[in-house]
Amino acid sequence: MPDKSSDVVQGTLDMLVLKTLALEPMHGYGISVRIEQMSQGVFRPNAGSLFLAIQRLEREGLIDGEWKATENNRRARYYVLTKKGRQRLSSETREWGRQAAAIARILEAS
């Protein structure tokens, strides 16, 4: 079994957070769970890396955070994708697709 805490590919966590938030605004734990679900359990980001990524994205102006009440009447900080974040996500997705295809071609050539 792969070590789940070994996290995601270097540098891609930001992109995954952006992708998650592109669907709907979410709090930190929600992001974490969603990434885990969508990757079918392959990625389970650790709290430190996740919140560091969130702080970084927020400072870059790609996401905005706001304190809101949760469905269970608690308070949590919800994050929403900004316009700039949406642009970044689409450019990064394109770039990722290009690179992944290239890597796949290299690995398949024998």
Partner 1 sequence: MSLFRNLGSGLRSLFRKEQANRELDEELGEYLDMAADEKMQQGMNRQAALRAVRLERGSLDGAKEIVRSGGWESVVDTLWRDLLFAARMLRKSPGFTAVAVLTLALGIGANTAIFSLLNAALLRNLPVNNPKELVLLGTGRGQGSTGGVDDVLYSYRFYEELAKRNQVFSETSAMMSVLFGGMHGRVEGSASLEPMNVQLVSGTYFSMLGVEPVLGREFTKLDDEPLGAHAIAVISYSWWTRRFARDPAAIGKTIAIGPTLYTIVGVTSGSFSGTTVGESPDVWIPLSMQKQVSPGWNGLEDRWWDSLYIMARLKPGVSVAQAEAGINVLAKAIWRDFAGPVIPLHRQRNIDEAWIPLTSAARGLSELRAYSLPLQILMVVVALVLLIACANIANLLLARSANRQREIAVRTAVGAGPARVFRQLLTESLLLACLGGVLGLLFASWASGAILAWISAGPEPLPLNIAPDGRLLAFTFLISLVTALLFGTLPALRSMHVNLTDAFKSGRGATALGVRSRFSSALIVSQVALSFVLLIGAGLFLRTLVNLTRVNRGFDEKEVLLFSMDPSALGYKLDSRLVNLYQQLEQRVAAEPGVRADSVSLSTFNQGSWRTPVSVLGATPNAGDNPHVVHNAVGAGYFATMGIPLLIGRNFGPQDAATSPKVAVINETMARLYFPGGSPIGRRFGIESDPAHAADFEVIGVVKDAKYESLDERPQPGAYYLYSQVLEHFYYDFEVRYSGDPHAIIAEVRSAAASVDPSLPLVYQGALSEQVDRSVASQSLTARLSAFFGFLAVFLASIGIYGLMSYGVARRTNEIGIRVALGAPRSRVFWMILRDGLLFASTGLALGVPIALAAGRLVSGMLFSTKPADPATMLVAATVLIVLNVTAGYLPARRAMRVDPIVALRYE
Residues that bind partner 1 in the complex, under the rule CB under 8 A: 4-5, 27-29, 32, 44, 46-49, 51-52, 55-56, 58-61, 72, 74-77, 84
CB of 52 to partner 1, least distance (A): 4
- Quick check: helix, strand or coil at residue 51? helix
CA dist., res. 89 & res. 85, Å (int): 6
Residue 69 has φ and ψ, to the nearest 5°, of -80, 145
Q: Which is nearer to partner 1, 69 or 104 (CB)?
A: 69
* Residue nearer to partner 1 on the CB measure, 60 or 99: 60
Task: Retrieve residue 22's tokens.
Answer: 């592109």
Q: Closest approach of Cβ 71 to partner 1, in Å?
A: 11
> Least CB distance from residue 30 to partner 1, whole Å?
8
**What's the closest the beta carbon of residue 89 comes to partner 1, in angstroms?**
15
**Between 19 and 88, whose beta carbon lies closer to partner 1?**
88
CA angle, 54 then 49 then 57, to 5°: 20
Is the Cβ of residue 7 or residue 93 nearer to partner 1 in the bound state? Answer: 7
Dmax (CA) of the chain: 57
| Alpha-carbon torsion, ordered 6, 100, 16, 39, to 10 deg | -60
